Amino acid sequence: MRNIILLAPPAAGKGTQSEILEKEYHLAHISTGDLLREFIKKEDELSEEIKQVIARGEFVRDELMCKIIEHRLTSPDCKDGYILDGFPRNVEQAKKYEVILEKLNFPLGYVFFLKVDKDILEKRITGRRICENCGAVFNVNIEGSMPKESGFCDKCHGNLYQRDDDNQESFEVRYQTYLQKTEPLIAYYKDKGVLYEVDGSQDKVKTFQEIKLILDREMI
Ligand code: AMP
31 CA closest ligand 1 atom index: 3
| Exposed/middle/buried for residue 217 (C-beta within 10 Å: 0-12, 13-18, 19+) | exposed
Q: Is the pLDDT of residue 213 over 60?
A: yes
Residue nearest atom 1 in ligand 1 by C-alpha distance: 33
Of the pLDDT bands very low, low, confident and very high (cuts 50, 70, 90), residue 2 is: confident
- Kindly state the average pLDDT of the residues 101-106: 96
Q: In angstroms, how far is the first alpha carbon of the chain from the final one?
A: 9
The pLDDT of residue 170 is 86
- Numbers of helices and strands, H then E, in the chain: 9, 8
Ligand 1, residues at Cβ distance < 6 Å: 10, 32-33, 36, 53-54, 57-60, 65, 86-87, 89, 93, 165, 174
The pLDDT of residue 127 is 93
* Residue 31 CA, ligand 1 centroid: distance in Å: 9
From 89, 96, 124, 129, active-site residue: 89
- Kindly state the average pLDDT of the residues 135-152: 92
The pLDDT of residue 43 is 79
The pLDDT of residue 220 is 53
- Kindly state the average pLDDT of the residues 192-213: 95
Residue 193 identity (one-letter amino acid) = G
145: helix, strand or coil: coil
Of the pLDDT bands very low, low, confident and very high (cuts 50, 70, 90), residue 219 is: low
In angstroms, the CA 67 to CA 62 distance is: 9
- Mean pLDDT for all residues in the chain: 93
* Residue 34 CA, ligand 1 centroid: distance in Å: 9
Residue nearest atom 8 in ligand 1 by C-alpha distance: 33
The pLDDT of residue 4 is 97
Q: How many residues does the chain have?
A: 220
> Are the beta carbons of 185 and 90 closer than 8 angstroms?
yes
Query: What is the percent of the chain where pLDDT is above 90?
Result: 78
Higher pLDDT, 1 or 172: 172
Q: Is the pLDDT of residue 53 over 60?
A: yes
Q: How distant is the alpha carbon of residue 195 from its chain centre? A: 16
From 115, 163, 181, 212, active-site residue: 163
In angstroms, the CA 7 to CA 22 distance is: 16
| Residues with Cβ within 8 Å of residue 98, at least 6 apart in sequence | 108
* Residue 196 CA, ligand 1 centroid: distance in Å: 22
> Are the beta carbons of 141 and 171 closer than 8 angstroms?
no
Higher pLDDT, 62 or 164: 62
Whether 128 is catalytic: yes
In angstroms, the CA 209 to CA 91 distance is: 28
In angstroms, the CA 178 to CA 90 distance is: 9
Closest-CA residue to 140 (of 159, 125, 121): 125
The pLDDT of residue 166 is 87
- Kindly state the average pLDDT of the residues 213-218: 89
* Residue 10 CA, ligand 1 centroid: distance in Å: 9
The pLDDT of residue 169 is 87
DSSP 159: B
Q: Which of 48-62, 103-117, 181-195 is the least confident region?
A: 48-62
